[in-house]
Amino acid sequence: MKLILVRHAVTHETGKRLSGRMPGIALSPAGVAAAEAVATNLASLDIAAVYTSPIERCRQTAGILAAPHGKKPRVRQQIIEVEYGTWSGRTLRSLYRLRAWKSLMMDPAGFRFPDGETLEEVRKRCVRFLVSMQETYDDATVLAVSHGDVIRTIIAHSLNESVEAIHRLDVSPLGITVVQLCAQHPPAVAVVNAPRL
């Protein structure tokens, strides 16, 4: 099966704040317009189902992308944003100054976000999502809208890399990554669109 992973469109907080799972952060007007353009580009694909993180910015993006296909996005907890704990809501500038941020960059696999989860825990729940998709959809194409770190984790896993690799990967808002899942072969990964290039 073919899994099309799309990072949510931009909000007013994107690139400024670690929004995490904070409620009430919707797409900006620019984000809505960009998502509508991507929806037009994906409209000709035969999409069997659309899945989304339960976070508002993903549900909004998924709704826009699903509309041309007449699909209702299905919420999956397994692809929810990383639980950043007490870092949620903080500006990125303030986080960059922390010694703990350097620990995250140097040892992402061993780092636990304060009162949050580890990236290894994120990887395990993402693997459960991949397995369920492969078991449910055979040769179909499925679209899933999630978050940057979650998608990077799926890419690293699909490339047989540990979560140590995620900081070498860049997933832009509305960036599209296709993961081809086949029981007989290792996953194949294609980055189709990275809007920030």
The pLDDT of 79-95, averaged and rounded, is: 97
Helix axes 29-42, 56-66, angle to 10 degrees: 40
Three-state secondary-structure class, residue 69: helix
Q: Which domains does the chain have, with CATH numbers?
A: 2-193 (3.40.50.1240)
Three-state secondary-structure class, residue 105: helix
| 176-182 β-sheet, strand order | 74-75, 49-52, 141-146, 2-7, 176-182, 185-193
| pLDDT score at 197 | 42
The pLDDT of 125-145, averaged and rounded, is: 95
| pLDDT score at 195 | 55
Residue 2 β-bridge partners:
141, 180
Tokens of 160: 């047989």
Flag the least confident range among 42-46, 139-143, 157-161, 186-190. Answer: 186-190
Q: How far apart are the first and last CA of the chain?
A: 28
Three-state secondary-structure class, residue 177: strand
